């Protein structure tokens, strides 16, 4: 019997990689449901090709007259709530959460409660409410298999290593397009420059996050909740070639490295097949083609958002949720031309300093912190308080 798959965010880069795998292995997988936010043209093409049971258009602003309620035999639902509805069907084995931002939290919770294996690419779920997600998983048949290339690399390395031999895990980062730009020139960078990632083809929000390595900060917090390492035992190195995705350092001083061509097809395929082995070569990339590999320490003066992420992670409670929410607002403001690139971490710090940290026991507590952070971030940007930091 084919394994059922649900994709949340099918029109993004991770979603497209997942569809690529489904095309390569049509005898193994079937698309049962999927979502897009507002790309109706892409949604229609996917529905006609894969003929899933359900399509969710998550944007409240979508014109319902364009696609109607059905595309062939595919039922079309509308609004953010349908993200939660489409992940629970009994024929679904794996849910790939590839939506961007805090909008992925509620559908991930629904998938956990339904006992699904989750290929998690929505890092904000664990960043925003990691303790709550971990408590849910303890009482569920659900499991998380990370899809981000760095976390998937660490997942595969750690799975076959003895815990008492481990010293530290290390996430790699490209360093973004401004790795060599003089720091004094960072306030002058344009939106177009920030959207030119040197290695990966990603959506605008993640690309801007990567330019300031805030994305890596979010991944540090995610790694803490995925693997249980303290923040002192989670490192970050700049690796411009993006061939090595994760390193595990052992107590005897050795390092184990996972390397592959920078293509999301590898971690996506692993998450879909897990715990089975991917049965055939997806893309050849011999070591002789790697060239010179560099590993450099990140400069926290150049990447203050990364330092802020460590601070928020160590504080625990709702601090990571506040960090994530204020960053989402700041990135959107930058993309709208309302704040400077260097004002993104300044705005985040302002919000973190003004909202008291708390340690809720329920999802609503984390969502309330998220709401307050977004409101305050907008307020600061309008009042130009962000410019004072």
Binding residues for 1-deoxy-D-xylulose 5-phosphate: 123, 149-150, 174, 197, 210, 215-216, 219
In the three-class reduction of DSSP (H, G, I as helix; E, B as strand; rest coil), residue 315 is classed as helix
The angle formed by the CA atoms of residues 237, 169 and 348, to the nearest 5 degrees, is 60
182 exposed, middle or buried (CB, 10 Å; 0-12, 13-18, 19+)? Answer: exposed
Q: Which residues are annotated as a binding site?
A: 12-14, 39, 122-124, 148-150, 174, 197, 203, 210, 215-216, 219
Is the CB of residue 172 less than 8 Å from the CB of residue 252? no
d(CA 327, CA 306): 12
Q: Which residues are annotated as a binding site for Mn(2+)?
A: 148, 150, 219
DSSP 246-288: EEEEETTS-EEEEE--S-THHHHHHHHHTTSPP-S-S----GG
Radius of gyration of the chain (CA): 20
Phi, psi dihedrals of residue 32, rounded to the nearest 5°: -90, -40
Token pair 């971690």 is found at 267
d(CA 322, CA 342): 19
Q: Which residues are annotated as a binding site for NADPH?
A: 12-14, 39, 122, 124, 203
Alpha-helical (H) ranges within 13-81 are 13-24, 40-50, 64-67
């Amino acid at each position: 019997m084919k394994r059922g798959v649900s994709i949340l965010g099918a029109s993004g880069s991770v979603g497209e990689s997942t569809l690529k795998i489904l095309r390569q292995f049509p005898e193994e997988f079937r698309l049962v449901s999927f979502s897009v936010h507002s790309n109706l043209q892409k949604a229609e093409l996917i529905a006609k090709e894969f003929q899933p049971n359900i399509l969710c258009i998550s944007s409240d602003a979508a014109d319902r007259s364009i696609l109607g309620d059905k595309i062939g035999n595919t039922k079309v639902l509308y609004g953010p709530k349908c993200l939660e509805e489409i992940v629970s069907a009994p024929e679904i084995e794996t849910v790939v959460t590839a939506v961007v931002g805090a909008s992925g939290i509620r559908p991930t919770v629904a998938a956990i409660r339904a006992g699904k294996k989750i290929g998690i690419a929505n890092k904000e779920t664990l960043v925003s409410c990691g303790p709550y997600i971990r408590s849910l998983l303890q009482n569920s048949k659900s499991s998380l298999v990370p899809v981000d290339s760095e976390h998937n690399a660490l997942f595969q390395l750690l799975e076959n290593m003895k815990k008492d031999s481990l010293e530290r895990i290390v996430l790699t980062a490209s360093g973004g397009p401004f790795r060599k730009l003089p720091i004094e020139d960072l306030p002058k960078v344009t939106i177009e420059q920030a959207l030119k990632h040197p290695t990966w083809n990603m959506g605008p929000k993640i690309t801007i996050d990567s330019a300031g390595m805030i994305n890596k900060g979010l991944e540090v917090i995610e790694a803490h909740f995925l693997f249980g390492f303290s923040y002192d035992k989670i490192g970050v190195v700049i690796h411009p070639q993006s061939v090595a995705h994760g390193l595990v350092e052992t107590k005897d001083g050795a390092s184990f490295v996972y390397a592959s061509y920078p293509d999301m097809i590898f971690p996506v395929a692993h998450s879909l097949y897990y715990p089975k082995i991917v049965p055939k070569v997806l893309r050849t990339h011999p070591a002789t083609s790697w060239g010179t590999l560099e590993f450099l320490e990140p400069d926290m003066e150049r990447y203050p958002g990364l330092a802020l992420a460590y601070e928020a992670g160590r504080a625990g409670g709702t601090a990571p949720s506040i960090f994530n929410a204020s960053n989402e607002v700041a990135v959107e403001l930058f993309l709208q031309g309302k704040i400077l690139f260097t004002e993104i971490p300044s705005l985040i710090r302002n919000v973190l300093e003004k909202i008291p940290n708390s340690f809720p026991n329920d999802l609503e507590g984390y969502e309330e912190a998220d709401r307050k952070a977004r409101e305050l971030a907008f307020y600061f940007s309008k009042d130009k308080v962000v410019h004072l930091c």
